[in-house]
Structure 1
Amino acid sequence: MNGRRIRAAAATAVLAAALAGCGIRSTEVPTDFGPAPSRVPCVMSGSSIASQSGSGVPVEVFLVCAAQLVSVDRTVRVRENEADETVTDRVRIAQSLLDELAAPPSDPEKQAGLATDVRAGARVSGPADGDPEDTLRFSTPPEDLSAFALAQIVCTLADSAAAAEDHTVIMGGPADDPLRRYTCTPEVRSRPGTVALPTETVK
């Protein structure tokens, strides 16, 4: 095995370990308060969860159900050919989680009333010159996202290795777009459509 393949395999192992440790802890808010008369469960049965589990690194992402965010277990495949030396582990983790959020919900998730507002195609890159080292720049500016999509992304990234040490997420659009530090709170998870994410301008 040549030096490049050794570095690629090592990067893959590091990414897998980081992803395995970046799950979001389950929230304590009720998940069964959909509008009457039709109430959605927002929870998959144990058999449904088991049937959709597959090989890969286990992670948790936030989906939307009954106008709130609900954590869902997923698995992420780490492919060795993604170990690009010019891309940091933080960016790889953020991109993997973003892609997972943009993936269509499985049939059991749909039956439980789960959906996503995150659209496919967005790309993540690292800091531009002068940015803090834990900056994530997105091809789609955060201010162009819906309130639900932005909350899904921030809350999914907040307890992952892609976040800053204080579990905030520094995000911005491409090029010289302004940077903001976002915080995921229980209030945002409960009402992402009406409670704004706490933000702080970084630059």
Structure 2
Amino acid sequence: MTARKAGRRYAVLGAAVLAVLLAGCGIRPTEVPTDFGAAPSRVPCTLSGPDLGSRSGGEFAVQVYLVCTSQLVSVDRSVTLPKGQGASDRVRLAQALLDELEQSPVGAERQAGYTTDVRPGMTVSGPGKGDPDNALRLSVPPDDLSPYALAQIVCTYANGGAAAKDDKVVLGGPGDDALRAYDCSPEMRTRPGLVPAPAETVG
């Protein structure tokens, strides 16, 4: 046997042994890179919403925006307004929505990965002296809120009946804090921590 033939035989034998060893370890050799895509998310961010039909005793069906996988996602809730008040009472509705945002998600919401960045203890009031009729004033200046908390409040108010007719949310802090008209933009809902809430100063 020539040296060349012997070399080929040993090369073939070595490849066969290597394949057997890899198979024994549970590894299959491959010549092509395999891309299985991103790992599936363990946080579905989906819930079976409650029945949003008729309510009794001053209850109203609402949607609030919570944070899930760094995005804003709407969640169905119900709020109770004081007897004799309806959903048309914008300030009381705004406070009820704010109370919902301040509650840490529990049960199915928590298991689905929802969180809130709105801290407890905030209140909201109607327009101050010289403010436009659609203004809402928070007990904390909007500039002092985290981007997530501000986005949650703006989008919840914009879609929950507490905004102006043009869906803009006019917010300010206590006293003579500057008022701004905020929009709940699609970009802000998908990237609330990176995209500032679109706003324009209200004179």
Whether 2:65 is the aligned partner of 1:59: answer no
Structure 1 residue 132: deviation in Å?
0.6
Do 2:63 and 2:160's aligned partners in 1 also have CA atoms closer than 8 Å? no
- 1:79 alignment partner AA: P
Asked which structure has the greater RCO (Cα within 8 Å, sep 6+), the reply is: 1
Structure number with bigger Rg: 2
Return 5+ residue gaps in structure 1 as ranges. Answer: 1-34
Do 2:72 and 2:189's aligned partners in 1 also have CA atoms closer than 8 Å? yes
What is the total number of aligned residue pairs between the two structures?
Answer: 160
Whether 2:108 is the aligned partner of 1:77: answer no
Q: SS of the residue aligned with 2:108?
A: helix
1:92 match: 92
1:157 match: 157
C-alpha distance in 1, partners of 2:99/2:61? 14
Q: SS of the residue aligned with 1:113?
A: coil
2:7 match: none
Structure 1 residue 78: deviation in Å?
2.1
1:145 match: 145
Q: SS of the residue aligned with 1:70?
A: strand
Structure 1 residue 190: deviation in Å?
0.5
Q: SS of the residue aligned with 2:78?
A: strand
- Describe how 1:104-143 pairs up with structure 2 within 5 A: 104-143=104-143
Structure-1-length-normalised TM-score: 0.73
2:71 match: 68
Structure 1 stretches of 4+ with a deviation exceeding 6 A read none
C-alpha distance in 2, partners of 1:115/1:59? 18
- Describe how 1:26-45 pairs up with structure 2 within 5 A: 36=39, 39-44=42-47
